[in-house]
Structure 1
Amino acid sequence: MTDAAHPLPELPLPDLPGFSHRWVDAEGIQLHAVEGGNPTGPAVVLLAGFPQTWWAWRKAMPGLADRFRVLAIDLPGQGHSDRPRDSYDTHTVASRVQAAVTALDVPKYWLVAHDIGAWVAFSLALKYEERLHGVALLDAGIPGITLPDSVPTDPERAWKTWHFTFHLVPELPETLLAGRERDYVDWFLNAKAFSPDTFDSAETEHYAAAIAAEGGLRASLAYYRDAAESARKNRDALDRQRLTVPVLGISSSHGSIPDMGASLSPWADQATGVVLPDAGHFIPDEQPDAVVAAVTSFIDHAG
């Protein structure tokens, strides 16, 4: 396999010791993957969410690398992947992620995903269950399944989900956020983490630069703007089938979804859950060792 060209050469690219960067064709677009770990071990594919990139997994990847072949993939529109102009519904994105995994020569794998990455992972598990050993989903409401149809107006809860409706407004977010991506990203990282010192300024700059790069803001908003289509396709798929692969829901003490396992169990044949202490929404950043332990235990028991 020949790697595709880097689609965003002007965007700084952080390195992680022991891992290498790859770009692969995924149904006509280029997706960025970071690969390392045990080449003969079971494959674990990692997907991040908003407003992050694959870099969200940087603290957990070394802990997984001893036993597993680890691949962190930037979603379409995220990080160092292409920013296509067509649909960002999660079934379309799932097809592209699966195409990238296939191009990386991974026949079957464990899928671990956070936030919008978990949206994509849920749809991928419905479409490609034969390619998965199991799926772990971290702190995410799934469109059409567990994501509420309305945003609460109670200030104690509204701050966690207000952006869902803001991102749906045509043109206004682009007008207000262009040139202020760093301020916007900084609010999410600080407001939704349990500890105020979880993210330093360099990490904030990294995520903000990825969103500010060509097409990044448009693509980030597109996941929310296409969430209704994602929800429709999820419901249509669940009319025909349930999730048959083992599912682990990973929640945190101060996250958005109190019990991911319970929220997913009505749609999954095998759903379990774990709640990690002393963490907010950004669980892989806040409790990476606990995430590694939970994922490893899940693989050992479900495999």
Structure 2
Amino acid sequence: MTFTVTDVPDLPAGFTGTFTSHTVETCELTLHTVSGGDGPPLLLLPGWPQFWYSWRLIMPALAERFTVVAADLRGMDASDKPATGYDAAALADDMAALMTALGHDRFAVVGYDLGMLVGYALAASHRERVTGLVGAESILPGLSPSPPLLSDPATNEFLWHFAFNRLADINERMVAGREEIYFGYNLTSKTAAPGAIPQQAIDVYVDQLRDPAALHASFGYYRTLDTSAEQILRWRDEGPLSIPVLAIGGQHSTGTMPEETMRLVATDVTGLVIPGAGHFLPEEAPEDWARRCWTSCADPATFLVGADGAWSAGESTPACRTPSTSTRARPTAGGAGPVRQSTTGAARPGEGPCRRR
């Protein structure tokens, strides 16, 4: 089952008046997005096992100053679900082609969990296009150590799905028909407080994974981690990112790990830990994330988006900056042209080449 903007429950008031579902044809496949707002383009990349819907509580605030594009990666929700192509480079190239088709040459990226991995891949492999990156609740394979086979109970509870998801076949056969058990458990066991994600939302996430192709894709992101790790090491060796990077962790989840990871691949990194939050930040702490990261850290006109519409270096230090021995410039976001749509509601393909790495 797939979920466009008109098919889901518990949307904020006025959501469908601002945001619209679009299907976008790229060189290789059809991708689904929910977009709206006005201003510089901002691409939102979801985590596993979710899709665009995970951003619903944050999108309205962002749309006041950005053209928000909440994308479904290949394999997710209403996007195509091919059997292959779930490594970091392929997913990044998909998103670059998507933004080309929408008419956005340069844009900022926000991603969490799997979306942080794809966001870094996009920024590293399309450096001329990504103007700034917010990454949350993840590490980068190849740079961060793999979990040990015998972990302490807390670590094992948090990371056991990594090994399970990487299995070649048995995982799909075990989970098929039991999606609510497996994915429901993962969605409820990694929050800081019970009920942080409403049951109706959990049902939506589970239902979109009942499709065998979606189930296969959900494991594909993990089965390709070795390939993704090789790609990440190559991008690291090409040089660190110079764009502003904000790395976010939940207090009861990854904490400072995203910041520590991003400092290995970027030179302008700000760290933030959200108090009282677990893993699923867009739903556990939407107001705190939006307010502290994109409003109270600096004047609204100069944190993600500058007065001139470009990412720029500011002199003041955001109040929520993680203490550091160095002072870093605060980020602002860059813009591009308006979204181009066909009369059918699907975006017209752009003319830029599709790159595969």
Q: Considering the TM-score relative to the shorter chain, is it more than 0.5?
A: yes
Report the counterpart of residue 30 of structure 1 in structure 2: 30
Q: Is the 8 A contact 1:259 1:275 kept in 2?
A: no
Amino acid in structure 2 at the alignment position of 1:11: T
Q: CA deviation at 1:165?
A: 0.6
Q: 1:272 to 1:151 in 2, by over 3 A?
A: farther
Q: CA deviation at 1:150?
A: 3.7
The one of 288, 298, 304 equivalent to 1:299 is: 304
Q: 1:284 to 1:224 in 2, by over 3 A?
A: same
Q: CA deviation at 1:60?
A: 0.3
Q: CA deviation at 1:147?
A: 5.3
Q: CA deviation at 1:214?
A: 4.1
TM-score, normalised relative to structure 2: 0.78
Q: Which gives a bigger RCO, structure 1 or 2 (Cα 8 Å, sep 6+)?
A: 2
Which sections of structure 1, spanning at least 5 residues, go unmatched? 1-9
Alignment partners' CA distance in 1, 2:179 and 2:138: 23
Q: CA deviation at 1:152?
A: 4.9
Aligned length: 292
Report the counterpart of residue 265 of structure 2 in structure 1: 267
Report the counterpart of residue 53 of structure 2 in structure 1: 55
Q: CA deviation at 1:149?
A: 5.5
Alignment partners' CA distance in 2, 1:79 and 1:181: 15
The correspondence of residues 198-217 of structure 1 with structure 2, limited to 5 A, is: 198-217=196-215
Amino acid in structure 1 at the alignment position of 2:244: P
Q: 1:150 to 1:101 in 2, by over 3 A?
A: farther
Alignment partners' CA distance in 2, 1:67 and 1:208: 32
Q: 1:277 to 1:152 in 2, by over 3 A?
A: farther
Report the counterpart of residue 42 of structure 1 in structure 2: 40
- SS, match of residue 209 in structure 2: helix
Q: Is the 8 A contact 1:76 1:83 kept in 2?
A: yes
Alignment partners' CA distance in 1, 2:190 and 2:216: 22
Q: 1:280 to 1:221 in 2, by over 3 A?
A: same
Report the counterpart of residue 104 of structure 2 in structure 1: 106
Amino acid in structure 1 at the alignment position of 2:4: L
- SS, match of residue 21 in structure 2: strand
Alignment partners' CA distance in 1, 2:201 and 2:98: 26
Alignment partners' CA distance in 1, 2:230 and 2:44: 25
Report the counterpart of residue 3 of structure 1 in structure 2: none
Amino acid in structure 2 at the alignment position of 1:27: C
**Larger deviation: 208-217 or 222-231?**
208-217
Q: 1:246 to 1:221 in 2, by over 3 A?
A: same
Q: 1:239 to 1:12 in 2, by over 3 A?
A: closer
Q: CA deviation at 1:262?
A: 2.6
- SS, match of residue 170 in structure 1: coil
Larger helix fraction of residues: 1
Alignment partners' CA distance in 1, 2:255 and 2:163: 18
Q: CA deviation at 1:210?
A: 1.1
Alignment partners' CA distance in 1, 2:183 and 2:147: 24
Q: 1:124 to 1:75 in 2, by over 3 A?
A: same
Deviations 1:207-262 (A, max 9, x none): 11111124001001000000100000110121122112111101111113434223
Report the counterpart of residue 144 of structure 2 in structure 1: 146
TM-score, normalised relative to structure 1: 0.92
Alignment partners' CA distance in 2, 1:201 and 1:14: 18
Report the counterpart of residue 243 of structure 1 in structure 2: 241
Q: 1:88 to 1:153 in 2, by over 3 A?
A: same
The correspondence of residues 44-193 of structure 1 with structure 2, limited to 5 A, is: 44-146=42-144, 148=146, 150-193=148-191
- SS, match of residue 106 in structure 1: coil
Larger Rg: 2
Report the counterpart of residue 223 of structure 2 in structure 1: 225
Alignment partners' CA distance in 2, 1:250 and 1:277: 11
Deviations 1:53-83 (A, max 9, x none): 1000000001111111111000000111110
The one of 11, 18, 31 equivalent to 2:2 is: 11
Percent identity (aligned): 32
- SS, match of residue 110 in structure 1: strand
Amino acid in structure 2 at the alignment position of 1:34: V
Q: Is the 8 A contact 2:31 2:80 kept in 1?
A: yes
Q: 1:152 to 1:80 in 2, by over 3 A?
A: farther
Alignment partners' CA distance in 2, 1:144 and 1:25: 32
